[in-house]
Amino acid sequence: MTAMLDISGLTASIGDKPILKGIDLSVPAGEIHAIMGPNGSGKSTLGYVLAGREDYEVTGGTVTFEGQDMLAMAPEARAAAGLFLAFQAPIELPGVNNANFLRTALNAIRRAHGEDELDAVQFLKFARAEMKRLSMDGEMLKRNVNVGFSGGEKKRNEVLQMALLRPRFAVLDETDSGLDIDALRIVAEGVNALRGPNFSALVVTHHQRLLDHLVPHRVHVLAQGRIIRSGGPELAKELEKNGYSAVLAEAA
């Protein structure tokens, strides 16, 4: 089986500080992989580097997404190719209406695919239907992007964006952190709705409870910029029980 996303020997730094120290990771089409690991180990950095954030310097390695050299692409081209990153800390955009933001994003991607843009009415119809499916409050569309949103609302908004943009590959960076039980279900449903042979995801999490809903194919432990262990869903349960110390000691 060919991998949808193939990361090989990836190293990256911020300023002079190396953060990713050689990541090898392959996610086949249709699979969900979880990434766990201690705070500061480089999980978010990996997400940013995959999405093309410019202040992270890639110093070595390759990232191939459906056969394309992803590191050569601009962030918006990666998005158009089907990559979505749910941010650990979603950004606030004062004055920018959420509906307008989502429509601009959706239309940019549709344009890149040679599809017709949606007008405001078509978009609202589509967005409302998606929100209903995810049992989200339609009011969210009228507010400014993430401004004054609670922590949980921001995460839900990320899931809504994912639902509307329908990526082929989603990186969810602790989208489950700080969520109540219902919201947790929304995140799981958001991912499960996209599941299929042409959808893969990397789910960064600290908690087993999201993985109960998502059941990953593989679980990877990232520590100090390297994947130090990989396993099946049972690895997450083991970590939840014993913490990272055993795994870290083993790797050292």
Ligand X SMILES: Nc1ncnc2c1ncn2[C@@H]1O[C@H](COP(=O)(O)OP(=O)(O)OP(=O)(O)O)[C@@H](O)[C@H]1O
Binding site for another protein (CB under 8 A): 51-55, 74-76, 78-80, 84-85, 87, 90-91, 93-97, 100-101, 104-106, 108-109, 112, 144, 161, 165
Which is closer to Mg ion, CB of 26 or CB of 88? 88
Judge residue 8's burial from the number of C-beta atoms within 10 Å of its C-beta, 0-12 exposed, 13-18 middle, 19 or more buried. Answer: middle
Q: Which does 139 bind (CB under 5 to 8 A by kind): ligand X, Mg ion, another protein, none?
A: none
Q: What is the largest CA-CA distance in the chain?
A: 57
Contact residues: ligand X, CB under 6 A: 14, 17, 19, 37, 39-45, 88
177 is an interface residue for Mg ion by CB under 5 A: no
Q: Compute the distance between CA of residue 198 and CA of residue 108 in angstroms, rounded to an integer.
A: 21
Q: Which does 41 bind (CB under 5 to 8 A by kind): ligand X, another protein, Mg ion, none?
A: ligand X
Half-sphere exposure of 174 (CA within 13 A, CB side): 17
- Cβ of residue 104: shortest distance to another protein, in angstroms? 5
- Cβ of residue 70: shortest distance to ligand X, in angstroms? 18
Q: Which does 85 bind (CB under 5 to 8 A by kind): another protein, ligand X, Mg ion, none?
A: another protein
Cα-trace Rg, the chain: 18
On whether the CB atoms of residues 39 and 248 are closer than 8 A, the answer is no
Q: Which does 105 bind (CB under 5 to 8 A by kind): another protein, ligand X, Mg ion, none?
A: another protein
DSSP classification of residue 206: S
- Cβ of residue 12: shortest distance to another protein, in angstroms? 15
Q: Compute the distance between CA of residue 2 and CA of residue 156 in angstroms, rounded to an integer.
A: 32
List the one residue from 11, 44, 98, 146 that touches Mg ion (CB under 5 A).
Answer: 44
Q: Compute the distance between CA of residue 173 and CA of residue 47 in angstroms, rounded to an integer.
A: 7
Q: Compute the distance between CA of residue 51 and CA of residue 172 in angstroms, rounded to an integer.
A: 12
Which is closer to ligand X, CB of 23 or CB of 191? 23
Which is closer to ligand X, CB of 19 or CB of 109? 19
Closest CA to 173 of 83, 240, 92: 83
Q: Compute the distance between CA of residue 37 and CA of residue 5 in angstroms, rounded to an integer.
A: 20
Q: Which does 106 bind (CB under 5 to 8 A by kind): ligand X, another protein, Mg ion, none?
A: another protein
Q: Compute the distance between CA of residue 228 and CA of residue 179 in angstroms, rounded to an integer.
A: 28
- Cβ of residue 187: shortest distance to ligand X, in angstroms? 17
Binding interface with Mg ion (CB under 5 A): 43-44, 88
